[in-house]
Structures are given as structure tokens and as C-alpha cells.
Amino acid sequence: MNDNSILEGLFRQHCGKMIHLARTLLHDDAEAQDVVQDVFARLLENDYQMTGSKTEAYLMSAVRNGCLNRIRNMQLRERFKNLHPLGEADETHSIEELLAELDRINAIVEAHIEEPQRTIFRLRFDEELTFQQIATRLDMSVGTVYKYLRQCISRIKSFI
């Protein structure tokens, strides 16, 4: 049995990044916490000796796999509603590549998305309002909201 203080050290060192990744991949913070807890619970059960430079890579991969399993087990409608991938085609990148791509998208949004698209974008993805709620708040038609969002995505795509 591993000494629990070793496990605690490992937990404290890596859990922040692990929870961050899980929150990024999942829509639900509580589920993200569960995934990370499960990873460490498995280490505890299997008396896994974690040392060396690959520890973080192992833990992060375990988190990603845990998140993807949860997503796979969701009903398709729930996956769609929370904007999760419906297939597995996107999951071939390494975690570093995945996070780098997300950083790139955020940088593009900051630098190249202007009003009024920027407000639409922020309300939909940051405040997570529905398109109907956005339309009501901005006093415009839902069709116009769709149009701005299409323009947004198209612009982001043009910089990737």
C-alpha cells in the first residue's frame, strides 16, 4: 500500500491542472471533480507507484479518458445540447495540442471578433444564454443572432 502522504502530495501537485482539463472537456463542474477523484481512487486501489517525468502526462491522459467516457455515456441529445463532440474524430490530438488549439481560438476571439458579433459570442458561450434569450435581450430576431454567430465562427475558422 502506498503511503497516503505520497498520494496527497501527488494530488495537491496535479489536481488543479487535472480539474481544469476536466472542466474544459465537460460541461459540469461536479462531474469534472468526480473524474479527477476517480483517477486518484484508481491509483489508491491499484497501489500505483507514480514517479518520474511522465506522471503528469499519465494523470492528464487519465482525466481526458475519464471525461470522454462520461461524454460517450451521455444521451446524444445531452451531448448535442452541451456542444460535446458527437463522434470520436476530434480526439486524436495530444492534450498539449488540444489545449494549444483552445488558446489559439481564444486569442483569435480577443483579437479579431468585433461588435456586434462579439456580444453575441460572449452571451452564447460565456453566459450560456439560448439564442432566443440573446435575441430578446438584444431586441433582435433569432435569425439575426444566427447570422452573427455564423459570421463569428466563419471568422475564427479563417484564422486557424
Binding-site ranges for another protein (CB under 8 A): 4, 8, 11-12, 15-16, 19-20, 23-25, 27, 33, 36-37, 40-41, 44, 75-77, 80-86, 90, 99, 101-103, 105-106, 109, 121, 125-126, 130-132, 142-143, 146-147, 149-150, 153, 156-157
Rounded to whole angstroms, how far apart are CA atoms 19 and 50? 19
In angstroms, what CA-CA distances link 112 with 97, 108, 121, 155, 157?
Answer: 22, 6, 12, 8, 11
Q: How far is CA 79 from the centre of its chain?
A: 13
Q: What is the nearest approach in angstroms of another protein to the Cβ of residue 159?
A: 12
Q: What is the nearest approach in angstroms of another protein to the Cβ of residue 77?
A: 5
CB of 57 or CB of 86, closer to another protein: 86
In angstroms, what CA-CA distances link 94 with 52, 79, 98, 113, 128?
Answer: 20, 22, 6, 27, 27
With beta carbons less than 8 A apart as the criterion, state whether 148 and 135 touch: no
CB of 115 or CB of 126, closer to another protein: 126
Q: What is the nearest approach in angstroms of another protein to the Cβ of residue 78?
A: 8
Sign of CA dihedral 41, 42, 46, 51: negative
Q: What is the nearest approach in angstroms of another protein to the Cβ of residue 147?
A: 8
What is the Rg, in whole angstroms, of the alpha carbon atoms belonging to the chain? 19
CB of 19 or CB of 50, closer to another protein: 19
CB of 70 or CB of 84, closer to another protein: 84
